[in-house]
C-alpha cells in the first residue's frame, strides 16, 4: 500500500498577517517544515501545495505542487499529483503532530476507508440569539472538534472532490466530503497540541509549545 502525505500550504495567512502562513517560523522552524518533517517518516512521498510563484525551502522534505484559490482546490491539485493508494492530508498550519496520531489514522483507514483526528469538545456550547447574546444551549455530549491529519483511500476522496466540484459545493474539510458522499469516517482521538495556528494569539501559544516540543 503506497501512502502519500498531502499538505495544503497555499493559503495567504490573512488572519495571522505575516505573509504566506506556511513560511512563518516558530522558534526557528517554519510551520510547513515542522509539519512535513513529522509526516515524512511515515509515508512514501510528501506533496505540498504552495502559493503560485513560491518555492519549497531546501530543508523541507517533499515535492511542490501549485495550490488553488481555496483549500479545497489545493487538496484536489495534490490528489491529482499522486498515485498513492492512501493519502494523509494535513494542514501546514498544524505544526505539532504526534506520531501516535499518524499511526492510529493509518490503522483506522485500513478498516473504515476514511478517518480523521478529532477531539471531544470540552467547552459549553451555545448558539447566539440574533442580538448576539445567549440563545440556545447545545449539549456538547457526542460533539467532536475535527482536526487534521485525515486519512483516506485516494480513489474515494478524489471522487468525493470531483462530485463537490461538479455541484459547486464548498467544503472546509475533506472528511466532510466523504461523509457527504455517504461513506463512513472513523473519529480517531487527536491531540491538544494539534492546534491550528490561525491568529496572532495562536502563534503565541505555538511559540510556547515549541519550546517544550523541541526540548
Ligand atoms: N490552504 C491552501 N490553499 C488555499 C487556502 C488554504 O492550501 N487556497 C491551506 C493553508 O495553507 C493551511 C490550511 O489550508 O495550511 C488551512 O487554512 P487556513 O488556516 O485558513 O490558512 P490560510 O488560508 O493561509 O489563512 P487565512 O484564512 O487566515 O488567510
Ligand atoms: Mg483560509
User: What residues contact residue 72 under an 8 Å CB cut-off, 6+ apart?
Assistant: 161, 164, 170, 171, 172
User: What pLDDT, on the 0 to 100 scale, is given for residue 31?
Assistant: 98
User: What pLDDT, on the 0 to 100 scale, is given for residue 58?
Assistant: 85
Digits of tens for pLDDT over the chain (215 positions)? 999 999 999 999 999 999 999 999 999 999 999 999 999 999 999 999 999 999 998 889 999 999 999 999 999 999 999 999 999 999 999 999 999 999 999 999 999 999 999 999 999 999 999 999 999 999 999 999 999 999 999 999 999 999 999 999 999 899 999 999 999 999 999 999 999 999 999 999 999 999 999 99
Give 174 Cα–ligand 1 centroid separation in angstroms.
Answer: 14
| Residue 122: exposure state from Cβ atoms within 10 A (0-12, 13-18, ≥19) | exposed
Rg of the Cα atoms in the chain: 17
**Cα–Cα dist 176/75, whole Å:** 13
For residue 15, give the ligand 1 atom closest to its CA. 28
- DSSP strand pairing (114-120 vs 186-189): parallel
Task: List residues near ligand 1 (CB under 6 A).
Answer: 8-15, 21-22, 49, 67-71, 74, 91-93, 196, 198
Question: Which ligand does the CA of 74 lie closest to?
Answer: 1
**Cα–Cα dist 166/153, whole Å:** 20
User: What pLDDT, on the 0 to 100 scale, is given for residue 75?
Assistant: 98
Q: Tell me, rounded to whole angstroms, the distance of Cα 202 from its chain centroid.
A: 16
User: What residues contact residue 207 under an 8 Å CB cut-off, 6+ apart?
Assistant: 26, 27
The residue whose C-alpha atom lies closest to atom 25 belonging to ligand 1 is: 13
Q: Is 109 left (phi over 0), alpha (psi -120 to 50) or beta?
A: alpha
The residue whose C-alpha atom lies closest to atom 23 belonging to ligand 1 is: 11
User: What pLDDT, on the 0 to 100 scale, is given for residue 67?
Assistant: 98
Give 131 Cα–ligand 1 centroid separation in angstroms.
Answer: 30
The CB density around residue 10, as the number of other CB atoms within 10 Å, is 28
User: What pLDDT, on the 0 to 100 scale, is given for residue 57?
Assistant: 86
**Cα–Cα dist 185/158, whole Å:** 15
Residues flanking ion ligand 2, Cβ below 5 Å: 11
User: What pLDDT, on the 0 to 100 scale, is given for residue 59?
Assistant: 84
**Cα–Cα dist 111/208, whole Å:** 37
- List, in sequence order, every beta strand (DSSP E) within the chain: 3-8, 25-26, 29-30, 45-50, 63-66, 86-89, 114-120, 125-128, 134-138, 144-153, 186-189
**Cα–Cα dist 102/49, whole Å:** 20
Amino acid at each position: 500500500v503506497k501512502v502519500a502525505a498531502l499538505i495544503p500550504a497555499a493559503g495567504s495567512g490573512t488572519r495571522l498577517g505575516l505573509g504566506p502562513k506556511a513560511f512563518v517560523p516558530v522558534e526557528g522552524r517554519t510551520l510547513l517544515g515542522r509539519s512535513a518533517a513529522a509526516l515524512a517518516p511515515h509515508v512514501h512521498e510528501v506533496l505540498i501545495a504552495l502559493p503560485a510563484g513560491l518555492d519549497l525551502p531546501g530543508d523541507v522534505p517533499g515535492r511542490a505542487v501549485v495550490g488553488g484559490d481555496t483549500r479545497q482546490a489545493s487538496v484536489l491539485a495534490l490528489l491529482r499529483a499522486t498515485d498513492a493508494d492512501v493519502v494523509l492530508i494535513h494542514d501546514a498550519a498544524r505544526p505539532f503532530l504526534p506520531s501516535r496520531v499518524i499511526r492510529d489514522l493509518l490503522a483506522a483507514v485500513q478498516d473504515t476507508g476514511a478517518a480523521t483526528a478529532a477531539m471531544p469538545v470540552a467547552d459549553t456550547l451555545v448558539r447566539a440569539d440574533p442580538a448576539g447574546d445567549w440563545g440556545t444551549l447545545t449539549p456538547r455530549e457526542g460533539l467532536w472538534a475535527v482536526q487534521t491529519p485525515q486519512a483516506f483511500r485516494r480513489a474515494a476522496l478524489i471522487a468525493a472532490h470531483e462530485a463537490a466540484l461538479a455541484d459547486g459545493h464548498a467544503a472546509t474539510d475533506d472528511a466532510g466530503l466523504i461523509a457527504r458522499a455517504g461513506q463512513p469516517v472513523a473519529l480517531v482521538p487527536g491531540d491538544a497540541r494539534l492546534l491550528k495556528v490561525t491568529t496572532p494569539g495562536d502563534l503565541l501559544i505555538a511559540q510556547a509549545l515549541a519550546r517544550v516540543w523541541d526540548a
